[in-house]
Amino acid sequence: MQKEHKIIMSVYEAKDDLQKADELIRDYIPFIRSEASKCISRFCTEQDDEFSIAMIAFHEAILGYEHNRGAFLPYAAMLIRNRIIDFQRKEVRHQSNISLNEEIGDSDQTLMDKIADERDYIQESANLEATKQEIEELSAVMAEFGVSFSDVADNSPKQQRTIEACTSAIRYAIENKHLLNKMLKTKKLPLAKLVAGSKVERKTLERHRKYILVMLLIHSNGYEIIRGHLRHALNTKGGMSV
Amino acid sequence: MKKYIVMECHLSYAVVLDEDGRFLKVANRHYEVGQTVTDVIEMQIPQSIPKKKKTKRWAYSLAAVAATLVMMITIVFQLGQMTYASIYMSINPAVRIDVNRNDVVVGLNGVNSDGNDLIEGYNYKKKDLELVVDELLDMAIEKGYLYEGCKITLVLDAENNEWIVTRSDALSKQLDDYLSEKITVIIEITDKKSNDQIIIPINPNDSDYDDSDYGDSDYGDSDYDDSDYGDSDYQSSDYDDSDYQSSDYDDSDYQSSDYDDSDYQPSDYDDSDYASDSGITDYGF
């Protein structure tokens, strides 16, 4: 009873504090792994997809836990089980696909080897390195604004309509470069001017403030790779508006 | 297939950016920052249990209690308003007084036009039976319906016989007491049921007599009068003629063996089912 109480305390603390959530999860890795093992009825290594899913399920349990849901650990176990079962069902759908490890012909060569051989390792690792560098740069700038990617993820609009509303605000800012420069100088999002310029409801923009901030940062300068990844989306939007 | 760039990695999740500019938290399947991935498992934070549910459940029981209360109140009220017994009072104006279980008047109707005239504008609500009867008599005297030597007939109608017995005593006594100070009248109190029962034997010409009481038994008119089989007929005409007479009867055996063992058995004859089929067929032999 006492122990259960302690867990609940730390769960509630971990809800808002990422650091504490990480600690809590780290403490319960054995529990998470054992639950995952139960579900797949074999030992679960950290390399298994099921383990990753169990980890995120445990995190979901921390965020979604409420007092009236009963004891925390059984609740977390239930979520882990559900997520793994969901995942396995999804996998069954892809079962008709051949495995990458399947052998081709008489040789010992597997399909994976063959595909892997065709890829350009050097180019790929260079790309990865470049992308990583860009992201780190962006992350450093975001830190100046006191924003992390996790915050943005929590703030990110999900609905298509909201995304469009935010995009129109972002586009307005991009078209008016001085707004971007001012933002970089003052480290503040010029929300009032965005509202006036884009005619989007202030409430919508306020709710997704961090998201808009990051998108503007990405479009301020550099970040070619990230922008290239996004280009598709923004271009169609731009085309539609013109 | 959708592409995602991994932006940030944590122990339990990774933040990825999709091509529409959405940042998502997904399961960290050994991702690396900068990696482009395709198949992600998005984090789904369970919906919090709506607290409305609790109040709703509360409201349900409240509604149930309220409904029960309303029902109970309605039933009690209905019982109070329900006619338990009726009193038909006829002087010349005839009125019907309905009372509930507690002898409180719940309805007052004129049976004829004079009755309607008598009770016009009279408020009987929540008054006791005795008070209403007294006031009605006063009004009848006032309006000239009731005068010296008049006859008042009270007919009591109720399911409960005990009620009739006690009320007829009480009412006659009360009317006596009340009216003796003013005028002299004849008071007759009867109840509906006993009326029925008493009238029947006294008036033999009443249709009821022939129809039901008599017709019930097999001695009904037609059967009884049937010539073939009647008592008298047996001894006279039928007995003498017909098949029966032919062989056995004329014989000397009639009184002894043949009469008894033939189909014309004495038992059949005495039976109340005299008119029934068997008797007739038997006779036919």
User: In sequence order, which residues have a C-beta less than 8 Å from that of residue B265 and are 6 or more positions away?
Assistant: B282
Question: What does the pLDDT read at residue A78?
Answer: 92
- Confidence category of residue B222, pLDDT binned at 50, 70, 90: very low
Considering the domain boundaries, does residue B119 fall inside one? yes
Give the gap in angstroms from C-alpha B84 to the nearest C-alpha of chain A.
Answer: 56
Number of separate domains in chain A: 2
A73 shares contact with chain B (CB less than 8 Å): no
Residue A83, domain extent: 2-93
Q: From CA A182, how far away is CA A186, in angstroms rounded?
A: 6
Same domain, B20 and B97: no
Considering the domain boundaries, does residue B206 fall inside one? no
Task: Specify burial of residue A173 (Cβ count, 10 A radius: 0-12, 13-18, 19+).
Answer: buried
Considering the domain boundaries, does residue B46 fall inside one? no
Question: Could you please report the per-residue DSSP string of B169-203?
Answer: HHHHHHHHHHHHTT---EEEEEEHHHHHHHHHHH-
Question: What does the pLDDT read at residue A97?
Answer: 62
Considering the domain boundaries, does residue A191 fall inside one? yes
Q: From CA B90, how far away is CA A20, in angstroms rounded?
A: 96
Mean pLDDT score, A59-77: 88
Considering the domain boundaries, does residue B47 fall inside one? no
Number of separate domains in chain B: 3
User: In sequence order, which residues have a C-beta less than 8 Å from that of residue B56 and are 6 or more positions away?
Assistant: none
Same domain, B103 and B184: yes
Name which of B122, B88, B82, B75 is nearest B106 in CA terms: B82
Considering the domain boundaries, does residue B106 fall inside one? yes
Instruction: State both tokens at B127.
Output: 């008054």
pTM for this prediction: 0.52
Q: From CA B175, how far away is CA B130, in angstroms rounded?
A: 9
Considering the domain boundaries, does residue A112 fall inside one? no
Same domain, A228 and A138: yes
Question: What does the pLDDT read at residue A99?
Answer: 61
Q: Which residues of B touch A61 (CB under 8 A)?
A: 46
User: Do A55 and B41 count as a contact with CB atoms less than 8 A apart?
Assistant: no
Residues 3-62 of A with CB under 8 A from B: 18, 21-22, 25-26, 47, 49, 52-53, 55-56, 58-61
Same domain, B186 and B240: no
Same domain, A224 and A139: yes
Return the SS3 of A201. Answer: coil
Residue of B16, B18, B19, B23 to mutate for A, most A C-beta atoms under 10 A: B23
Same domain, B99 and B152: yes
Same domain, A56 and A142: no
Same domain, A163 and A236: yes
- Confidence category of residue A100, pLDDT binned at 50, 70, 90: low
- Plot region of A120 (φ>0 → left; ψ -120 to 50 → alpha; else → beta): beta
Convert the pLDDT of each residue in B68-116 to its tens digit. Answer: 999 999 988 887 777 788 888 888 788 888 888 778 888 888 888 888 8
Q: How far is CA A89 from the centre of its chain?
A: 23
Which of the two residues, B49 and A160, has the higher pLDDT score? A160
Residue B31, domain extent: 4-37
Give the gap in angstroms from C-alpha A193 to the nearest C-alpha of chain B.
Answer: 22
Question: What does the pLDDT read at residue B70?
Answer: 95
Question: What does the pLDDT read at residue B256?
Answer: 45
Same domain, B180 and B270: no
Q: Could you tell me which residues are beta bridge partners of residue B154? A: B89, B189
Same domain, A59 and A134: no
